[in-house]
């Protein structure tokens, strides 16, 4: 079983979606510094993706400093170098684009959408 959640969608490479899922898992604390990370083989088998795709994703995460190889242990999470604000906002970009598209189709203004978002933000903050 993988230590993070992912549901692949059409329109974006599987490797990019896997990278985003791992980044998100680190940001929300599902993956913590020093946690073991699945092997390329395990990722490939459990996610039903090619080993090349899994290897590419792991390589990018290693370059970003989010994963590291530990002799005798395998791959581990390195969460000390979390993505910056812009990168974290990029993780939300697909959902934000969909939200804007839906708001426009409902003929809502930017102001309406911003006010609704502010209201939800406050509600969520209090709970």
Could you give the CA distance from residue 82 to residue 86 in angstroms, rounded to a whole number? 11
Region of 84 please: left (phi>0), alpha (psi -120 to 50) or beta: beta
**pLDDT band at residue 112 using 50, 70 and 90 as cut-offs:** very high
Give the C-alpha distances (Å, rounded to integers) separating 125 from 14, 65, 120: 33, 31, 8
What gap in Å lies between CA 4 and CA 97, rounded to an integer? 24
* For residue 83, pLDDT beyond 70: no
**Whether pTM exceeds 0.75:** no
CB atoms within 10 A of CB 31: 24
pLDDT digits (tens, 9 = 90+) for 3-38: 888 989 898 899 999 998 998 898 888 899 999 999
């Amino acid at each position: 079983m993988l230590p993070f959640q992912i549901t692949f969608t059409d329109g974006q490479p599987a490797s990019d979606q896997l990278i985003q899922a791992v980044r998100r898992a680190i940001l929300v604390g599902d993956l913590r510094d020093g946690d073991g990370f699945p092997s390329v083989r395990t990722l490939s088998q459990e996610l039903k993706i090619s080993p090349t795709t899994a290897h590419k994703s792991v390589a990018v995460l290693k370059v970003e400093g989010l994963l590291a190889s530990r002799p005798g242990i395998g791959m581990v999470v390195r969460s000390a170098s979390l993505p910056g604000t812009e990168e974290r906002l990029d993780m939300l970009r697909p959902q934000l684009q969909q939200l804007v598209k839906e708001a426009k189709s409902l003929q809502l203004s930017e102001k309406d959408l911003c006010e609704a978002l502010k209201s939800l933000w406050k509600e969520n903050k209090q709970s």
